Amino acid sequence: MDRIETYLAMGGYWAYVWSALGLTAVVMVGQVVTTLRTLRRREAALAELESRRQRRRASHAERAAG
């Protein structure tokens, strides 16, 4: 148990080490969340563009046939 406490104390620098580790974890989680939100937005925009393209092709095909 004493070894664990010594490890967690980080040679007296525990406050710096653990706060830096915590801040790093928060930033990394934030980056994942931001990336996933951006991905979903861009996928939705792509789906909208593809549906517009299909509608445009269908209307052009109707005009050509009629």
Listed by start position, the domains of the chain span: 24-66
pLDDT in tens, 10-23: 889 999 999 999 99
**Continuous segment of H or E residues that includes residue 43:** helix 14-65
pTM of the model: 0.69
Reading the block at residue 54, the tokens are: 């299909």
Alpha carbon 57 to its chain centroid, in Å, reads 34
Decide: 47 and 55 in contact? Cβ < 8 Å.
Answer: no
pLDDT in tens, 16-45: 999 999 999 999 999 999 999 999 999 999
In single-letter form, the type of residue at position 59 comes to: S
